[in-house]
Structure 1
Amino acid sequence: MIFSHPEPAGRKIRILPVFMPFAGCKTRCVYCAQTVQTGRAKAQLEHVYSALQATLEGAESGAGYEVAFYGGTFTALPFVWQKRFVALAAQFTESGVVSGVRCSTRPDAINQEELSELRDGGLRTVELGVQTYNNKVLANSKRGYTEEVIVSACNTVKNANVTLGIQLLPGLPGMNAEIFTNDIAKTCALSPDVVRLYPCLVFKNTVLAHWFSQGKFQPWTLEETVTALGEGLLSLWQHGIRVIRIGVAQEDGLNENLIAGSFHPAMGNMVRSEALRLLLMEKIQQLQKPFSRLFLPQKYQGELWGYKGVHKHFWAEHGVLPEKVVHWKLPIFQLD
């Protein structure tokens, strides 16, 4: 049996992140680690604008950065500011410093007319912080919108000929593995171009931290998270959807502020390994006969046995022993 890995091919992108913490945010979600800030003061936006301008002016010609506005609700900023930021980045496309613009925002902050204007100005990708489609979990998390709003926003982005990204947050209050499986299925039905998976974590000075201290909220364990995300990742791949991030990045201050939750610096590798385990078991069962060798593409060597060899015992029980695994350079798998 010969088969390929289902992960869609992706293009390498040089992201130039522009962090705008809580710019445009008008509410505080239960997992949010900062105090509420309504909008963003003009002086602060001016500072972000000036800093970005200086960075772009000092960049090498042909750098090919995709300027990415993260950390807030970009499309909830005053529209004049949205246009200013996109136009600033667009000024550097001719020199090759900038290849495009992307932003993150909320599903309830999408306006098709404005989005079309931003697209004409250089906006290429919109990532929606969907988090979940389950209305009860959305209400628990104080997101302030419903599944209907999410679906409408996703269709609006696609109809505006803008690349759609979806961010999911498994493990929110009231969520279980079944709800997350449904979230994956609904995401696949919407066919976004890219997805990010951010397991819910408990940080200091959040509503979740208060609930956790009172025993009203219990985050998913690491094992539960890896299992659920592994299944979800494989499904997304099989629907041709690229997953561009799994787990939060290890940033300064994270460890000091993290109270609970399934954070692990190797989360991406662990989830990818789980997805590969599920894929190979599916193929082994389809083979319906004993196999003598598994030809494994070299790039997946680190994922077969799992993080610190966690899957070795499982594979031994299913006849996948080190002496049966042949590492080769071809990008396809083969079971003989």
Structure 2
Amino acid sequence: MTPIEDAGIGSVVVVGTGLIGTSIALALRQRDVRVFLADRDAGAVRLARELGAGEDWTGEQRADLAVVAVPPQFVAQQLLDLQKRDSARFYTDVASVKALPLAQAAQLGCDLTTYVAGHPLAGRERSGPAAARADLFLGRPWAYCPTDEASPRAVAAVERLISLCGGNAVRVDAAEHDRAVAVVSHAPHVTAAAVAARLAEASETALGLSGQGVRDVTRIAASDPALWTGILEGNALPVAEVLEALVDDLSAAARSLRALAGDGAAMGQVTDLLSRGVRGTGRIPGKHGGPARTYAVVQVLIGDRPGELARLVQAAGETGVNIEDIRLEHATGLELGAAELYVRPEAAEALTHGLRERGWQVPG
């Protein structure tokens, strides 16, 4: 990363005070960067300001860097407007597609020497400034896509922004970026929505039987449809290609299941799909971006009361075992749930024994 003296990031204008824009502003404020906030929605700016994300931008203050945090289809025009006003020395954006804004910026005649397209791969199913967090980007990949025209100082400024926010900078070509996010983000969102859509007409019996599995699969489907319509429109062809491949796999699985009654061998295609799913899951990077690990799961019964999770974490810490991940599953109709503690396989027995000694119910 370039030192802050070289990058010169002392002030930033954030245009768009939604989840990502406000989270960037909060992260920068923690690093004593002066932040100016702008949005067409005065209420969003006011809330972001009340959260401590920065101060109102009058349009007169010139910043070191301007961050365009608007939907993909509006990035280029917003960039042009900012550059016409000489609002900053350098510019970036946070849209989840990159080829479209870059192409439109070139068509509009934007100054590409001062602009470096970016995309932090972090988010939540909730939107708006109220959902923002200063730590949203910690350890998360943050793609940036310099063109040949981008100046070294513009690139350094964006690298410094990523560093200040705690992100993991990943330099990548714009077209390659869009193909990649189609696989790991955009098509999965559409798929989650398709599964969740089945629940809209599901019976009360089915909903009453739902567990953590369906919650895991559909969690991201709760995101703002209007926001995602813009994202998918901006990356339509790469997403369509991934979805078509998914449809082929699902169609083959459906045909095999229909044929199963008369042909036991038909299950082979389903088994193959499930096996490829396991292999694919195993390729998702693990903690700190390292190789994926296989963890043991220690399930602990936990009351649905204030402070219970904190007590459990403290008890686990007393055993000397490091908890790699925690997931909660609530029991329908009961003030009781289960906490799933993910640990190294060799530590599972010690954790189980230690928690039972401290009075926790550990099934099995």
TM-score for the superposition, normalised by structure 1: 0.29
Give 1 or 2 for the bigger CA radius of gyration: 2
TM-score for the superposition, normalised by structure 2: 0.28
More helix by share: 2
